[in-house]
């Protein structure tokens, strides 16, 4: 995919141009969504010619795919006590949301663009899922000797499968991002970082660990 041109000095400017396009594209996609973000407007933001965008990225979909490519950069939470898992992950999500416009662009676009929706699905299945599985494995290693003769399932920490837990985390994380950054619901947008962590933390903890009912009682869910 890298440039085959062997020009030593010429290749550097094209990289700068390419980066400028991507930055402008992320901002436009984040602010306007996929269809309302036009190549013309992106080019104008990057102060280049619209035709250059086509030359560099081929078409609009490939430009979006390049602009929305990113990593959740999930931290390793294996060492934390169970009660702090949600707060730590929530805090990390807040950092990622506010430091990088890619996620906002992806969220806005994924509502109407199928490519973006695919990437969003992959994000939680391929990145959050394994992190939860790793979490369960480290917890299970201590408990496995006690439960001994149980099923040979990988995650003994909870009967709820990893994908479901990742999906539940997604509902709260994406819902918060939607209300705070996209819809800008005043009470949600005005929450301080500490308040947000305090509210979402216990919820995310419960979903991460696969605990259906709240602390006090083991409820039957009929």
Partner DNA sequence: GTCTATAATTCGATAGAC
Partner DNA sequence: GTCTATCGAATTATAGAC
User: What letter would DSSP give residue 200?
Assistant: H
What DSSP letter does each residue of 85-145 carry, written as one string?
A: HHHHHHHHHHHHHHH-THHHHHHHHHTT-HHHHHHHHHHIIIIIHHHHHHHHHHHHHHHHH
53-112 binders of its own copies (CB under 8 A): 107-108, 110-112
Does residue 196 interact with DNA by CB under 7 A? no
70 binds, among DNA, its own copies, none (CB under 5 to 8 A by kind): none
What torsion, rounded to 10 degrees, do the Cα atoms 181, 184, 186, 191 define? -10
The CB-of-112 to DNA minimum distance in angstroms stands at: 13
Q: Which stretch binds DNA (CB under 7 A): 3-11, 85-93, 113-121, 134-142?
A: 3-11
Between 59 and 141, name the residue whose CB sits nearer to its own copies: 59
- What does the chain come to in residues? 222
Fill in the DSSP letter of residue 151.
-
Q: What is the dihedral of CA 159, 162, 163, 169, to 10 degrees?
A: 100
Q: Does 206 bind its own copies (CB under 8 A)?
A: yes
Choose the binding region for DNA from 52-60, 83-91, 97-105, 132-140 (rule: CB under 7 A). Answer: 52-60
Give the span between the Cα atoms of 51 and 14, in whole angstroms: 14
Contacts 24+ apart (CB under 8 A), 73-76: 74/127, 74/128, 74/131, 76/134
Give the residue from 85, 174, 74, 82 showing the smallest Cα distance to 131.
74
Residue 117 interacting partner from DNA, its own copies, none (CB closer than 5 to 8 Å by kind)? its own copies
**The residue to which tokens 């990145």 are assigned:** 127
- Residues 14-33, one symbol each (x = binds DNA by CB under 7 A, - = not), give x--x----------------
Residue 97 binds: one of DNA, its own copies, none (C-beta under 5 to 8 A by kind): none
50 near DNA, judged by CB under 7 A: yes
In angstroms, give the least distance from the CB of 177 to DNA: 25
30 binds its own copies (CB under 8 A): no
Binding positions for DNA, rule: CB under 7 A: 3, 5, 10-11, 13-14, 17, 37-41, 48-52, 54-55, 58-61
């Amino acid at each position: 995919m890298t440039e085959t041109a062997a020009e030593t000095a010429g290749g550097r400017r094209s990289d700068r141009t390419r980066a400028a396009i991507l930055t402008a594209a992320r901002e436009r996609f984040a602010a306007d969504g996929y269809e309302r973000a036009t190549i013309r407007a992106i080019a104008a933001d990057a102060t280049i010619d619209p035709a250059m965008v086509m030359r560099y990225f081929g078409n609009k979909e490939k430009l979006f795919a390049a602009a929305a490519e990113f990593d959740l950069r999930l931290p390793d939470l294996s060492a934390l006590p169970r009660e702090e898992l949600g707060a730590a992950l929530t805090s990390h999500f807040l950092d990622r949301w506010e430091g990088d416009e890619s996620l906002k662009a992806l969220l806005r676009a994924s509502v109407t663009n199928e490519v973006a929706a695919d990437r969003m699905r992959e994000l939680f299945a391929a990145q959050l899922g394994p992190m939860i599985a790793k979490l369960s494995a480290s917890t299970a290693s201590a408990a496995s000797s006690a439960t001994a003769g149980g099923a040979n399932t990988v995650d003994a920490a909870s009967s709820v499968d990893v994908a479901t837990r990742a999906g539940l985390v997604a509902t709260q994380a994406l819902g918060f991002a939607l209300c705070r950054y996209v819809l800008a619901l005043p009470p949600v947008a005005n929450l301080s970082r500490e308040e947000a962590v305090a509210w979402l933390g216990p919820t995310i903890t419960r979903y991460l660990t696969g605990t259906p009912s709240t602390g006090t009682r083991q409820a039957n869910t009929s």
